[in-house]
Amino acid sequence: MSTAITEQAVSFIENVRFDDLSAEALRIGRRCMVDTLGVMLAGTSEHAVHILMDDAAEQGGRPDALLLAAGWQRVPAAMAARVLATAGHAHDWDDTQVSHDPAHVYGLLTHPSVPPLTAVLVMAQRLGGVDGRRFMLAFQTGFEVECKISEWMLPRHYRRGHHSSGTVGTFGAAAATAKLLGLKGEQLAHALGIAASFAAGIRASFGTMTKPLHVGRAAENGITAAMLAARGFTADPTVLDGPWGFFSVMGEGFDPAKIAQGFGRQLTIVDPGVSIKPYPSGILTHQSMDAMLKLVLDHDVKADEVKSIRFYAGKNILEPIRYPVAVNHLQAKFSMPALLCMILLKRRASHHEFMDSFVASASMQDLQRRTQVLGDAEIDARGYDLIRSRIEVDTQDGRTLVQWADERYRGGPMNPLSDADLEGKFRMCAEGALDAGAQAKLLEAVQGVESLTSAARLAELMVFDGRQPH
């Protein structure tokens, strides 16, 4: 079957113009930037990011771009991207693609903003002279290519163990970089071909430092792919198509009916949209965490009043959210017992709760061991277009409290975070990195990003030295 998907991607990347972006696309794009820059700053508190910073600083090299959280130190573009994008995904708090397909598996959908935003933030510094309109256009170009590839793939890609934000994210960074570099035709096709061979990330590393590194490598590899293509490096120019193409090899195919959507005819960032995460854990957990919070607050439940907890859900939650008892904060992001118990104990779950000392505490360990995670065939039968679950809490005085998750995901297009809530999340993320005044300057710059004469200004406004005590 001839699909010419790569040809379509090349045509879109080459021909899309700033004027093709609707006012709504620009509005949502700015919101995604606010959110993503915030979670990048929050990620600098993670030991994994410190290791990558030290590695980049030790290797050194061409001073292309600022090394996040290292003051004014500069390193080669791809290395700067590895650190920046890993920080962006370190808390698993970055935004998530939406799909209306009831047959879709949520884990197949990518975290779309970090790879292309990292690419344009780094390349704007390397290239110089990139204004805000070019910056926004390149970001949206990478975002669209990444999301459409993810949407069209068969769920087998995720089910067999690939991590989409690492694999498909590579295309987002490559497309964004290629747009800034002005690659065209065969050279642009080669950039995508190189990116396909670089695409990697397996779910076995969920709950470890390597999970966010998948996204760091996606940004690093996407930039490298486009820059090599610009130098004349070659690859298969039809890499998304055919029996040995990306779709077939990585996911055993794609949905032929979806290909007609095309790239850019309706930008994914607008429809079906993007979710901005209220909690720093896998998106599949958030409705259930909100449900637990509602149950706790409605009934004023205290942890010492709880005898046991039962959590019922379908395979779309139970397969990736896989730790029955989390012993550290990385595992807690993929452990329903840990997340539900966190809400019960603290009545919130911010990155301040995702600390190894708290997750390993006696109260958390005891409650997790009194929490059962159970498959529910009825929930599975309703499909995976929405995230559905039910919580039952048995109290010491003999009551059973029941709460179904609200299918209207808080943070998703049906129930979005307000601008005020988004700013609150940004400021919480930036706390400890930037003072209130610096936070305000960065927010102002993002809100007026299209009018910037130099988009590299955004990176400069993020400068702080995370190696020194705050």
pLDDT by residue (tens digit) across 327-374?
Answer: 998 899 989 999 999 999 999 888 878 989 999 999 999 999 999 999
Question: For residues 351 and 93, what is the distance between their CA atoms, to the nearest angstrom?
Answer: 9
**Residue 158 β-bridge partners:** none
Looking at residue 470, its pLDDT comes to 37
Looking at residue 106, its pLDDT comes to 61
In CATH, what is the architecture of 5-277+415-460? Orthogonal Bundle (1.10)
Chain-centre distance of CA 280, in angstroms?
11
Contacts of 16-21 spanning 24+ positions with Cβ under 8 A: 16/137, 16/140, 16/141, 16/144, 16/179, 16/264, 17/137, 18/133, 18/134, 18/136, 18/137, 20/264, 21/136, 21/137, 21/140, 21/267
Burial of 136 (0-12, 13-18, 19+ CB in 10 A): buried
pLDDT in tens, 232-282: 999 999 999 989 999 999 988 898 888 989 999 999 999 999 999 999 987
State yes or no: cis peptide before 416, omega within 30 of 0: no
Q: Mean pLDDT in runs of 10 for the chain (470 residues)? A: 84 98 98 98 95 97 98 98 97 91 74 98 98 98 97 88 96 98 98 98 92 98 98 97 93 88 96 94 89 97 97 92 92 95 94 91 98 95 86 98 88 92 94 96 98 98 79
Q: What token pair was written down for 423? A: 């700013």
Given a contact cutoff of 8 angstroms between Cβ atoms, the answer to whether 203 and 169 are in contact is: no
Looking at residue 310, its pLDDT comes to 98
Query: Taking the domains of the chain in order of start, what are their residue ranges?
Result: 5-277+415-460, 283-404
Tell me if residue 305 falls in helix, strand or coil. Answer: helix
Looking at residue 105, its pLDDT comes to 67
The number of beta carbons lying within 10 Å of the beta carbon of residue 259 is 16
Looking at residue 107, its pLDDT comes to 63
Looking at residue 469, its pLDDT comes to 44
In CATH, what is the architecture of 283-404? 2-Layer Sandwich (3.30)
